[in-house]
A and B are shown apart, each in its own frame.
Chain A
């Protein structure tokens, strides 16, 4: 790409990013109001013993800018200034820093989701390509049927099925490395054992997420490729002396991969937002379980920060997808 074009892309991205930023700001503030309305931090203290008075509870919440006696507008303003000036997203009703939690948990989620994303894309695209070139063959029909079923199974059912099988294997085949809960085992020492231990804990949740994730890539890649496989230019390529499979590989596939690459670019940032149901079932404390925790523990600031984080990553994904299209597809480049 010549320099002028890069400048155009940069300008385009900047303009888009500004629009996104505006939307994120609005979305975040709306979420703040909704969360303040729907979540009641005081209820966290209701069941504590010894029983505390209303005033005691409010006083306990005051340092975290959650005191319900302070007008909502003032609380909102304080929260906003601290976010804008110090990038401090506040604290939970028990005083835990939201910034710290998100920083740690997003990495946990990433650890969980990155591998499965890679596997999903590889498996899904490979399967899509394999079956598209054998349309209506038995391998196509079988994998299509499997994918349609898997695609429509709720994550909870699939994940628990994986857990069930793993436990059965552990009991009957004497395996002991399929861990059904947690990110790591307590008390493991040393670098290599720690890495090994974490990897073993990754097996089942990664398997689940891959299972849930590959299907979309399989079905879309298959239909994308089927749409291009009969394109005139594939026939032209064959006419120059390529076999059908060479022509499909070199011409149809390259073209059909562009939308997939775009959608992968879109979903890469989303790895940090984690997988809610899977994290819950496998007991990982990533962003997904943080999401549940903040809502059920009436953590206004945590909830808002989670929303802002997710919205920001969506925006980054969309911009990445745009840029990917520009770089991969000569047709949308400005000439």
Chain B
């Protein structure tokens, strides 16, 4: 039998470098990249890089050999080759100006088919939902793009269409859970079939020309090519699940036969669809909403009341509450407020919404509608205001959704400085820093006390300032208080007496020991004996002192002990241990820093407030004095 050579078996044969893969597939690097993106083939991190790279230690891009073999059988490889042929032939036609042939050829452009790849990459529908995050984020970005050299108009239009369809689904299914305004964009999180799908809608207007080194649109465009197909199929299935007609349509009664509608029906419909403000056509006749299958509460109840079940129940209740959060409310979105994110949120929680019809088509009612309950404005002041409605800033909507309840609107009124907007995505039970606002959210009592204490302190401060005149009275009071205190002290002193005995006994023990030790020496020293006798005569029971446990010392001893024990970590875990400790320390430091910053900010604010108050009072006093003088005159 032949002895196998080095790197003929094992890990070295499992991996294949990119260059070798290119050679094996007979593709150019660009085609290979495209193939990898479409097929979802990615490099692998080997267990032993040296071994996988046949002895060389520089870092190469390694693919699994099986993946490359798998690509070998991919039909789109042939399409990619057809592209090459097409480019060559059409280039030739163009060069020799054979335009008739060119036209014929262009009609026969080899279309790439990705349906089977979607199925293959996501064998179950849930898999596709799991991977929807990147897809949605990228498509939402691309839907805002202008027509670029590498991104055809059609592609961004398709992105726009598919994302709008997805949003329609989210609204219809009421599956939105969390929303957040970040500096990067609007985060939305929906729960679709148990999967949390998070996507970002960038702030308007995200496109900026980029240098080639910064952003390569070609790569992104390939991703979009795949993601559009994937989202299309996902949308189809999602719509089907809700009994909605897939390319979204409106019920026939929606379309009044106006001149507008008749003129260009398709564009009218697509406008209304992008407005996101109408119910879509359903395929079943039931149509009546609120048939939500509440998680089988009875079933759960039968299971007993373990913590998990209780938690699930709570969650279900919260979600059902969230679904009808804005039910019965009528919103009007002002011109300056970004329409789309707000429409999604309001509509998916049962609210009615409209906007200025000049801003976007699909407005259902006018600003002058008296039944509007909330108007969302984002400007410091407004000339005409209706008494019947609340003028709120857009953050109110977001905070309400994250809180899963309607918050009082007073903090969000027009022109009011807003409370901080907190992220709903952080874990509430984490062990890092939690800002006081978030604490207050979890424990509403905190916020009361916080306010109260503030008031109190203010009152105190005021009292201090005001009571300069009544000094004598105060002195008398103080005297009285002091007397009371002394009386109390006496009482407590009696109580302490019980403890004292114990202390004494301790003391005595100690003395005894000393005596013993003294006895040892006594053999030699007679003089000392005399002295001792004298002392013994003088000896009497003294009042003991309260033995105070020095907390700091105890703590220090504990820390020392812990430190010593920590030195007993097994040598093979030592590095890990150190790393963990370092991480922990860093986290603690971070927390400490944030807390400190907060404290300084708060004290500064308080100082400023006090100063302002004092100033105001002074000014008032001065004004009063001036008035008095005037009056005297």
Q: Do A and B come from one complex?
A: no
Which residues from chain B sit less than 8 Å from chain A, CB to CB?
none
